[in-house]
Amino acid sequence: MPPQTSIRDRIVAFIRAAAPGGVVVGMSGGVDSSVVASLCAEALGRTKVLGLILPASSTPAQDTTDAQQVAGKLGIPCRIIPIEGVLRALEQALGPAASADSDCLPDQKGATQRAADPSPPRGELARSTLIAQANLAPRLRMAVLYYHANLLGRLVAGTGNRSELLTGYFTKHGDGGVDFLPLGGLYKREILALAKELSIPAQVISKPPSAGLWPGQTDEGDLGLPYAALDSILAALLDQGLPPAAAAAQTGMDPATVAKVLSLLEASRHKRALPPVGPRPGEE
């Protein structure tokens, strides 16, 4: 039997088929974007990969340095475009967070009336405000990536992995707004192994994964469990098709944790699907 093609070679072939004209990659200084940039350079050649580093005020300086180092090592063209000014201007234009005290609906006479819905509890409003504001930066980055992709006639290569996609740990129409996902079939643990094979700098591989949405934010803190545990549960549930109780027993995780992962899968289903389309006239 011929030797099995490595996952590295398969992803390289996938990139060549998906984006022969070149790609734009958002480089965060993390392991996922570093691996994507490396594989794209291997697949397409260095001149067909543009790395964009798009820091905000919450972006650690070391992340920008790491992204520059990776781009330099790969020999790909790279631009740093700070988005903080545009982000602050957008937040200022949007004004205070919406609530029952700020939402107004036009009445039949053209005047305004207060929205009838009661205000959410203060803690709930604070959380929804934090999430809404945190999602602005990824969506702004998406616009910048596509601006350059349109200029160059290229595609945007996404950096999401299977762990993130299945749990919905990405911003819809933000870092989820891409043309293709080279690492979409790999769990985080598999990407870490591939990063070592690609000689990604050690400090990039070892740093705690973070979306950089606010100072001190980490992926595992948001998800509530380490990637190693998450990946093992997802693999048991989806790859092996085990029921929740069996998945808990096999992974050594408590049933409540498995149930939480299942709830993430279900709650994020809409993020992995095209928008539902309404019926045509005459259709039942």
Q: Could you read off the pLDDT of 174-227 as tens digits, one per residue?
A: 999 999 999 999 999 999 999 999 999 999 999 988 877 767 778 888 888 999
Reported pTM: 0.88
Question: Per-domain residue ranges for the chain?
Answer: 7-98+127-212, 224-276
Distance (Å, whole) CA 119 – CA 112:
18
Report the mean per-residue pLDDT for the chain: 89
**What are the tens digits of pLDDT across the range 133-151?**
889 999 999 999 999 999 9
What 8-state DSSP symbol labels residue 272? G
Coil, strand or helix: which one is 78? Answer: strand
| Pairing state between β 78-80 and 49-53 | parallel
DSSP labels, 84-120: HHHHHHHHHHH-SPP-TTT-EEE-TTS-EEE--SPPP
Torsion sign across C-alpha atoms 198, 11, 145, 150: positive
Residue whose token pair is 């205000």: 119
- In CATH, what class is 7-98+127-212? alpha beta
